Amino acid sequence: MSLLELDDLHYGYPGQPRLALQGVNLSLPAGVKVALLGRNGSGKSTLILHCNGILQPNRGVVRFAGRTVTYQRAALLELRRQVGVIFQNPDDQLFSASVAQDISFGPLNLGLNQTDTRRRVQAVAELCEITDLLERPTHALSGGEKARVALAGVLAMEPALLIADEVTANLDPWMRRQLFTIFQRLVAQGKTIVLATHDVEFARYWADMVVVMEAGRVIAADTPERIFANQSLMVQTGLGQPWYLPFAHA
């Protein structure tokens, strides 16, 4: 059975003439590592915001664990307990005064007591290497520090499906590697991970499944081997060309 199913999703931002999603179909099994690729503006972030009900489609449905997502408050809270999203811009995510408060917010909201919450915060802070930042105000952090705090906040919820929107973009090579390790550990626990990225090499190396978007649609979803062997797809999307090639031949 699919963990997440998107069925014919259409979505237009208010006041925009062109639909951001123009009939997205996608089915993700549980326990896989998914890389979501696509050019700027192809609809990756918009798709992601539909996965935990932040955006509601104009047409089509989202199904999680076999159930059609509905948009009442209680149902959304339950969905967000299962589907954790790390936003493309961490400033959209972090709103508490301190890092510790920010990471505590999710677990407290789930009904955990202070002691258990503190334990979870401590554990995810160690994992994301932000223990020394816990008492800092969230607004006074570097981009990569914010990304790590946002990641910790979502990990503290222990979601079944973790979706990260270009989180690697802000991370240094050391932290990227750390993230990779964290993801491996989560997948070993049976979790499912979706990572939107422009890092084609990372996708090729890391993912079990590559999903390619173009102009508001999913145009391909397959193993990295098959996706990257598809010459016409590579040409159409520009994914197969290392960016430095024209210069190397100059």
Ligand X SMILES: Nc1ncnc2c1ncn2[C@@H]1O[C@H](COP(=O)(O)OP(=O)(O)OP(=O)(O)O)[C@@H](O)[C@H]1O
Query: For binding to ligand X (CB under 6 A), which residues are involved?
Result: 13, 16, 20, 38, 40-46, 88
Distance of closest approach, residue 111 Cβ to Mg ion, in angstroms: 32
Residues in contact with Mg ion, counted by CB under 5 A, come to a total of: 3
Segment interacting with Mg ion (CB under 5 A) among 38-46, 78-86, 115-123, 139-147: 38-46
Distance (Å, whole) CA 52 – CA 80: 6
- Candidates 20, 35, 45, 149: give the one binding Mg ion (CB under 5 A): 45
Q: Please say which residue, 35 or 160, places its beta carbon nearer to ligand X.
A: 35
Q: Please say which residue, 33 or 44, places its beta carbon nearer to Mg ion.
A: 44
Which of the choices ligand X, Mg ion, none does residue 115 contact, using the CB cut-off of 5 to 8 A by kind? Answer: none
Residue 10 sits at φ, ψ, to 5 deg, of -120, 135
Q: Please say which residue, 36 or 103, places its beta carbon nearer to Mg ion.
A: 36
For residue 93, state whether it binds Mg ion (rule: CB under 5 A). Answer: no
Q: Interface residues with Mg ion (CB under 5 A)? A: 44-45, 88
